[in-house]
Chains A and B, each alone.
Chain A
């Protein structure tokens, strides 16, 4: 079964450094998402992406964050200047349709654990 793959599985970085988290969504999916989970807290929506632009973003997704689909297969999340509170598990997801709630579920990757020291 096709799956969403994320790299790296664990990233350690120093505060103030830039990080790029990488994701390869399922090949025929058109909608892409980033979610994150701070340890012990809820899984939170960050951003959704379709047709090479952001379609929706949460309050968490401020100017420090950006997303990009640099080629036909990768989907990246960049954090420009990491803060301690950015430490979390970051999940990439993809979906065939924009209303995943009703027609097609989100398919999640295994996540990247980001640790900011």
Chain B
């Protein structure tokens, strides 16, 4: 079945550092890929998505590229801010449901 694997957290960075959170997936067919973010006390919010191979999703300075050859969708940001501290979930979209990874907590210190 479909599955998503994310790097374990927490990821601890200083402000303005470069961020990478790794995500790989296993799926049948041609899924879409997503990153969701959960800020403290809030629900899951869509951060970005890519619907086919080589697509790049981007939002709020975050980027991820759908790599079919490596079955990956790594999240990157060039310069993180304290306000980016949250839990980040990689997810795979099939026909009607989402399959999530475990989530990676990001802690950014000033």
Contacts and interface: CB of A to CB of B under 8 A. Distances in A.
A45 B96 CA distance: 11
Interface residues of A, number: 28
Interface residues of B, number: 26
Contact of B102 (A41, A100, A108, A110): A41
Interface string A41-75: 11111001000000110000000000000000000
B96 A4 contact: no
A99 B101 contact: no
Contacts of A105: 34, 46, 49
B43 A91 contact: yes
Given A43-B89, A100-B93, A102-B51, A110 B41 contact: yes
B100 A42 contact: yes
B96 A43 contact: no
A101 B94 contact: yes
Interface of A: 4, 6, 31, 33, 35, 40-45, 48, 55-56, 91, 93, 98-102, 105-111
